[in-house]
Structure 1
Amino acid sequence: MKKILVVLTNTIRYHGTQQATGLWLGEATEFVDEVTNANFAVDYVSPKGGFVPLDPRSFKYTDKSTMDIYASSDFQQRALTNSLKPEQINPQDYSAIYYTGGHGVMWDFPTDPKLQEITRKIYQQGGLVTSVCHGIAGLLNVKDDNGKYLIAGKNITGFTTAEEILAGKRKVVPFLNENVAKLHGANFQKKRAYKEFAIQDDQLITGQNPFSARAVAKLVIQNLD
């Protein structure tokens, strides 16, 4: 059975504030729902391992499958309580890596060297490198063996500047994903704010916003079947 590594954040608040953030629940559960129903296995990793906080706002956008997965002991234990540490991961075990979002990832995904190395190795062995929404932050600084940004020259998407403004978080995030993606040579694609949109360029599959997790999953399934 092929396995997919799902990456989650450990960040519990917007830095410099007492405002809670964390994983956007549906960006994990909707993806997991699709790929597990297609008979793929998943493991969960976070920069520090262990506890993964949830963005409380994400509960406004849950469906039955999300709540069923959230209620499961497997998700509670393996994703939210005892997520794996990067050093516990053998990249050779995985056919794809998927970076979830939630604003928390903006602080712990972009500069984590261990996650970057896992991503690079999965890519080098022909695996898929994927993300949704703010999860693109985990791909922004990944480089290949030649020191070139993995996203350079690639068509990708992620949470847009317009969406960040509409979310009311423009002034509290440490950077804008769209700006950094372009700075690192990506061809950043986007559709109307909060409209489902996922795009593939070779081994990279990315989704624009929280409503794009299932679309990313479906592209992953098509490529791994």
Structure 2
Amino acid sequence: MKKKFKILKWILGVFLSLIILLVSLFFWIRSLIPPRDVDVVSSEAKNIAYITEDVPEYRGKILAVVTSTDKMGTSDESTGYELTELARAYYVFKANGFEVDIASPLGGKPPVVIDDEDMGKYDYAFLNDSIAQYKANNTQKISNVIAKDYEAIYFVGGKGAMFDFPNNKAIQSLVRNYYQNDKVIGAVCHGPAALVNVTLDNGKPLVENKTVSSFTNEEELLLISDAKSIFPFLLQDKLVEEGARFNAGTMYLEKMSHDKNLITGQNPWSVWVLAETMISELGYVPKYRPVTDEEHAIHVLQAYENNGSEGAKTLLNQLIRDEDQPVSRLLIAKHGILAAMKGRLGRFFSLLNLTSYAKDLEEQE
């Protein structure tokens, strides 16, 4: 009896120690992440110099296309277009002299996904922009779009795009028209679903032998383990099946592919570079834009991938101490949590230590 009691006491002790460890770890992680410094109410386009100052003369129009699908297949999971993927590209286009119209398969008000953790000043400015909101809530029906009215087309991501982009005849017609007439086509994250099932006049798939990026199988399956049964296909698999040279980067880090007039991005963190590359492909030098704290964090994480902790710390020193640039500690910590989800505990603690290092540098300033 005493032996059983000792075993139970030992198990209880281990359990309580584990609880204390997890609680301590939670509060440590919380201490590494600064409070949000974005004023949701006052974030307006008119107060952002990049959007309002030194805007070139009118250069034409760009069409952004968003999904009309609000549910993932037969599941109850809600979806829509990703607001950050529309808002950031919208303002890059505007700041570089282009008017932006928004279309969707059904027209009208499309469903939108707003992730508070990913929102920044440009995203809140979009929500506070009456003109942008009118366009976003009263989208053109894609079948009514006149192709010649636009210099380029941009397909916004969001998981809903997997359901209503691939078989939409109007989208296929626009993509074929633009590609064969050397007009610029951009697509990010799940947006490249608009490129599948598009056949050129020569009978070949549009993406055949083209270098493209999109949301990867690894990124999809990490958060939605049954994605193969929910979606009609995995986007990476479908693009490869149609002959694309798939260009995958590190999970949830910036990655863009530029193949002539076809410009594609892997995930939401690729929007800035993709939109500015579209401006370049249209024949203009993109206007200078201050790099965001999120982009700096992405560059630090890429340095971590390429050169380990020391390489990442060197870049952090340069950005924070030498150049007084902001770095999103939240994003670095989130990548640590993603590592834990994959069972990579060494990487988890390494990235949290990197987050702590960034915090220490900031506090020394």
TM bucket, shorter chain: over 0.9
Matched residue type, 1:104: G
- Contact preservation (8 Å) 2:155, 2:186: yes
Larger radius of gyration: 2
- Contact preservation (8 Å) 1:7, 1:46: yes
CA distance in 2, matches of 1:107, 1:50: 18
| Number of residue pairs the alignment of both structures matches | 223
Q: Which residue of 2 aligns with 1:167?
A: 223
Q: Which residue of 2 aligns with 1:157?
A: 213
Q: Which residue of 2 aligns with 1:119?
A: 175
Cα distance change of structure 1 residues 10 and 59 upon mapping to structure 2, 3 Å threshold: farther
- Contact preservation (8 Å) 1:157, 1:198: yes
The structural deviation recorded for 1:124 is 2.3
- What is the aligned-residue identity percentage? 36
Q: Which residue of 1 aligns with 2:252?
A: 194
Q: Which residue of 2 aligns with 1:85?
A: 141
- Contact preservation (8 Å) 2:105, 2:143: no
Q: Which residue of 2 aligns with 1:216?
A: 274
CA distance in 1, matches of 2:232, 2:170: 21
Q: Which residue of 1 aligns with 2:13?
A: none
4+ long deviations beyond 6 Å: none
Taking structure 2 as the reference length, what is the TM-score of the superposition?
0.59
User: For each residue in 1:145-195, what CA deviation from the matched residue of structure 2 results, as whole angstroms up to 9, or x when unmatched?
Assistant: 122111100000000000001222524222101000000000000110000
Taking structure 1 as the reference length, what is the TM-score of the superposition?
0.95
Among 21, 31, 34, the alignment partner of 2:79 is 21
Unaligned ranges ≥5, structure 1:
none
Q: Which residue of 1 aligns with 2:196?
A: 140
Indicate the SS of the match to 1:50. coil
Unaligned ranges ≥5, structure 2:
1-58, 285-365
Q: Which residue of 2 aligns with 1:63?
A: 120
Indicate the SS of the match to 1:11. coil
The structural deviation recorded for 1:212 is 0.6
Matched residue type, 1:91: A
Among 108, 114, 139, the alignment partner of 2:164 is 108
If asked which structure has higher relative contact order (CA below 8 Å, sep 6+), I would say 1
CA distance in 1, matches of 2:113, 2:160: 8
CA distance in 2, matches of 1:17, 1:150: 31
Tell me whether 164-173 or 28-37 shows the greater mean CA deviation.
164-173
Matched residue type, 1:10: S
Q: Which has the higher helix share?
A: 2
CA distance in 1, matches of 2:237, 2:113: 24
- Contact preservation (8 Å) 2:261, 2:281: no
CA distance in 2, matches of 1:184, 1:59: 36
Indicate the SS of the match to 1:195. coil
CA distance in 2, matches of 1:28, 1:155: 23
Among 63, 66, 88, the alignment partner of 1:30 is 88
CA distance in 2, matches of 1:150, 1:94: 20
